[in-house]
Amino acid sequence: MCHQCQRNENGRVVRCRGCSERGERKRYCIPCIKKWYPNSSEEDFAEACPVCLGNCNCKACLCLDVPLRCFKNRDLEIGEDERLEHCKYLVNRLLPYLKRINDEQVSEMKFEAEKQGLVEFEEMEIEKSNCRVGESMYCNNCKTSIFDFHRSCPGCQYDLCLKCCREIRGGQLKGGGEEMVEKYGNRGFECFDGEGKIIQRNGVGTRRLRSSSAIKSEFEWKADKDGSIRCPPEHMEGCGKYCLELRCLFPGNKVMELVEKAENIDESYQILHVSSETCEESCSCINPVDDVKYRKAACRGDSKDNYLFCPRAESIQPEDFEHFQRHWMRCEAVIVSNALENGSELSWEPLVMWRAFRQVNNTKHEKDVEVQAIDCLDWCFIDVNMHKFFTRYSEGMF
């Protein structure tokens, strides 16, 4: 019986020699090998079948919740000193963004301290939000994730991010708006011109978008004379009764503390501050000796950047990290090839993925027959059957 399709042998099969150590010998029929493992040969199956390799995509194996165990060459021999340098590099690159968040929070704290009549904003204690651990908080107006400081309504728990607060006080509110649903009839292909008109569909399509102009005509959101911001009315998800109060997600001035610690770490990190000219002269991509780690992208005679750094995933070495950082800091592309060879070797074929979704029926998983997809041409929401969703990756979809 074929292990993949669980059918009686009817035709030629390939028996795995690797299974003999476990006292069993899996068999795969030729049609299953060609359909579900198109990149593997019969010789590969005879030497080690998908069960031996841990990448079997039969119905039984796809339902199992087991850790992937076929990753190759993932544990690079990196010493503790090198690992520490990588961490310092990450701190250095993230520090500017952390400082920007801190500046926004300090500005809001100074505004609140002045409103409360406090001399120093450090004296102010900000009440912690009642957001549960592991729960994400987002701005009710612009839907942006809230990192720490925000303003919240004590009555209805309406939350507003600091950027929206700044825009409201400046009279330049950009985010937010009511969600409007526009319906389009089936007008055929001749009506589509790439500017939002619907293309041919089965039935009626819908497009959801947010409109700030609709709200401005009904309600103009302005701050009070002292800079206080009132909760918006009910049609904007608020209550319209209370002023929004400053809240935080982390106790104390956690971001300020993080900035101080990050600055101390960054001082001890001797990052490679190389100018563009120096980096160009020292980079091995200018005149590559071999083409294993480089890909020619241009043939310009007066240029020194005709090649892209293109390492193979399975051959990445610790010294390649510094090379990668040089290009990444200059916003230059880096291509990592053969990335799937270091993965679990599970198939990314659309039909295999559909088969996995179809077979997952454990209680810890949700099982959906249809999914809601967005057409990138006109941003319409359409309901697609799960099988069609995956098969159209192979067959194409208008």
Q: Is residue 252 domain-shared with residue 276, that is, in the same domain?
A: no
Q: Give how many domains the chain has, as a whole number.
A: 2
pLDDT, tens digit, 9 for 90 and up, residues 95-133: 999 999 999 999 999 999 888 888 788 778 888 888 887
Looking at residue 58, what is its pLDDT? Answer: 79
Q: What is the DSSP string of 120-136?
A: -GGG--PEEP-PPTT--
Residues 242 and 276 in one domain: no
Same domain, 141 and 112: yes
Given a cut of 50, the residues of the chain with pLDDT beneath it are: 68-71, 187-217, 273-279, 361-363
Same domain, 231 and 165: yes
Output the CA torsion sign for 265, 269, 275, 277: negative
Q: Is 162 exposed, middle or buried (0-12, 13-18, 19+ CB in 10 A)?
A: buried
- Looking at the DSSP assignment, which residues form a beta bridge with residue 374? 381
pLDDT of residue 100: 93
Does 181 map to a domain?
yes
Q: Looking at 311, 341, 371, which one is the last position of a domain?
A: 341
pLDDT at 199: 42
Contact 37, 26 (CB under 8 A): no
- If asked whether residues 231 and 145 sit together in one domain, one would say yes
Q: What is the DSSP string of 257-300?
A: HHHHHHHHHHHH-------HHHHHHH-TTSS-S-SSSEEE----
Residue 165 lies in a domain: yes
Structure-block tokens of residue 193: 């011109």
pLDDT value for 196: 43
Output 72-80 pairs: Cβ under 8 A, ≥24 positions apart.
72/314, 72/341, 72/342, 73/313, 73/314, 73/316, 73/342, 74/342, 76/316, 76/317, 76/318, 77/318, 78/318
pLDDT at 261: 92
Q: How far is CA 18 from the centre of its chain?
A: 38
Euclidean distance between CA atoms 281 and 63, whole angstroms:
53
What would the two tokens of residue 271 be? 């990052």
- The answer on 236 and 102 residing in a single domain is yes
What pTM, to 2 d.p., does this model score? 0.57
What is the predicted pLDDT for the residue at 277?
41
What torsion do the CA atoms of 169, 175, 178, 179 make, to the nearest 10 degrees? Answer: -170
Angle at 72 between CA 70 and CA 78, to 5 degrees: 135
Cβ 38 vs Cβ 349: under 8 Å: yes
Question: Of 228, 259, 290, which residue constitutes the final position of a domain?
Answer: 259
- Nearby residues of 25 by Cβ (< 8 Å), 6 or more positions away: 15, 16, 17, 19
CA–CA separation, 307 vs 342, rounded Å?
24
The answer to whether the Cα torsion of 212, 213, 217, 222 is positive or negative is positive
d(CA 244, CA 240) in angstroms, rounded, equals 10
Same-domain pairing of 332 and 206:
no
CB 108 within 8 A of CB 162: yes
Provide the domain limits for residue 140. 92-259
